[in-house]
Amino acid sequence: MDREFLIDLFADFGPVTIRKMFSGYGISADGTNFALALRAGLFFRADEQTIPDYEAEGSGPFQYSTRAKTVTVNSYWQLPARLFDDSEELAQWARAALAAAQRAKVKKRPKKAAAKVAKAPAKKPGKKAVAKKAAVRRVGKAKRAHRSRS
């Protein structure tokens, strides 16, 4: 799948941004990545709300192999092949995938926001602390120099 094919494929969905990613492309809308176009096929973002639709179509999650094992990525599922011929229904699946990606983003946000609130801004060290740190460094440097002479 090349960039032009993907742009045509998503014409009924609306404007998409297509960027090089892995061995293919990442596809996003409104700044949210919701699809991957790889050698293995086209994969849409999925979650507990949309996975049953993929299962009903006989599709599976994205998988790749390493030397040691096969890794399954349950957050991306292969788009059913029949949808390549039905641009209107593909657009519906793409909207559902974008919604799943946005739900995943919302789930991640509270953790980051809570961490920012809990983390107090670091104070600048006072003059005494800076002087003490410098003195400790000088002592350590002198010890290392003495050991190397011995």
Cα 114-119-121 angle, rounded to 5 deg: 135
**Cα–Cα distances in angstroms (integers) from residue 47 to residues 16, 67, 82, 96, in the given order:** 21, 28, 21, 10
129: confidence class by pLDDT, cuts 50, 70, 90: confident
Is residue 56 assigned to a domain?
Answer: yes
In percent, how much of the chain has pLDDT > 90?
A: 62
29 within 8 A of 17, measured Cβ to Cβ: yes
CATH number for position 91: 3.30.1460.30
As beta bridge partners, residue 61 has 77
Cα 45-39-47 angle, rounded to 5 deg: 10
**Cα–Cα distances in angstroms (integers) from residue 55 to residues 52, 77, 97, in the given order:** 5, 9, 15
Is residue 70 assigned to a domain?
Answer: yes
pLDDT given for residue 131 in this prediction: 76
Interatomic CA distance for residues 122 and 90, integer angstroms: 50
Is residue 141 assigned to a domain?
Answer: no
Per-residue pLDDT reduced to its tens digit, 40-77: 899 999 999 999 999 999 999 999 899 999 999 999 99
The chain-wide mean pLDDT, for the chain, equals 86
**Of residues 113 and 91, which shows the higher confidence score?**
91
Range of the domain at 42: 3-118
95: confidence class by pLDDT, cuts 50, 70, 90: very high
18 within 8 A of 58, measured Cβ to Cβ: no
Is residue 148 assigned to a domain?
Answer: no
pTM of the predicted protein model: 0.69
Average the pLDDT over 85-106 and give the result.
94
pLDDT given for residue 122 in this prediction: 64
Domain tally, the chain: 1
